[in-house]
């Protein structure tokens, strides 16, 4: 039992109002949880015979090494196209500041939150590791925030804050529970020069989680 650990991630939004979508902000400028992109690669010359569909090859996409299957019938020197689904979470701005320097807010939506609960049993090694793990748990909570931002068709979460709580009442004080919650306001932000050309409606409409 001493080695039991568990981690649960949740997230959502609070009831509130938001301005209608701004048509002038193109969809392609907003990050996606899974945008597909096609790539064309050439089969290595070392593949002399046509592939049987199980052969693989290495390729580098944006500096990341990938292993992909060579389509059946393809051989050295020939090219083929494959599609990869890639999250664009890295395009989301997250900040404890109320704004991003050089950017203007053109739309905001109701508050969102992301929470990570981590439980473990007391032990010297676990308690020492916990000090190093807090940062990782905060990162996990922020990941849930980013997920909510994209689902709300925004590209930033501003005014973020983190709250850390702990409980040692379980199993006569031997079970520890740490909960880290992040919250913030999802927004659409654009470069200041672009914001002047974006028109926003002043009509509010309710949004519910």
pLDDT at 138: 92
Strands 79-86 and 56-61: what pairing?
unpaired
Spatial CA neighbour of 134 closest among 157, 164, 95, 112:
164
Give the pTM: 0.64
pLDDT at 10: 86
Residue 98's DSSP bridge partners are none
Task: Give, as one character, the DSSP assignment of residue 33.
Answer: S
Gap between the Cα atoms of 108 and 22, Å rounded: 11
pLDDT digits (tens, 9 = 90+) for 80-123: 988 877 778 888 999 999 999 999 988 889 999 999 998 877 66
Spatial CA neighbour of 86 closest among 142, 49, 39:
39
Gap between the Cα atoms of 1 and 12, Å rounded: 32
pLDDT at 209: 44
């Amino acid at each position: 039992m001493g080695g039991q650990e568990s981690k649960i991630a949740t997230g959502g939004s609070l009831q509130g109002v938001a301005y209608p979508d701004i048509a002038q902000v193109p969809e392609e400028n907003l990050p996606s949880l899974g945008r597909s992109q096609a790539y064309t690669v050439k089969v290595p010359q070392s593949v002399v015979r046509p592939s049987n569909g199980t052969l693989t090859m290495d390729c580098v996409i944006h500096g990341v090494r990938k292993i992909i299957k060579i389509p059946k019938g393809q051989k050295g020197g020939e090219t083929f196209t494959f599609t990869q689904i890639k999250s664009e979470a890295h395009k989301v701005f997250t900040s404890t500041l109320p704004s991003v320097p050089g950017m203007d807010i053109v739309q905001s939506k109701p508050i969102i939150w992301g929470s990570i609960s981590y439980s473990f049993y007391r032990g010297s090694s676990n308690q020492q590791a916990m000090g190093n793990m807090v940062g990782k748990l905060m990162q996990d909570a922020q990941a849930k925030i980013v997920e909510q931002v994209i689902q709300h068709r925004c590209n930033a979460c501003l005014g973020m804050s983190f709250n850390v709580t702990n409980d040692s009442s379980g199993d006569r004080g031997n079970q520890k529970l740490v909960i880290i919650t992040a919250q913030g306001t999802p927004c659409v932000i654009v470069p200041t020069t672009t914001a002047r050309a974006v028109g926003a409606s002043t009509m509010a409409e309710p949004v519910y989680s």
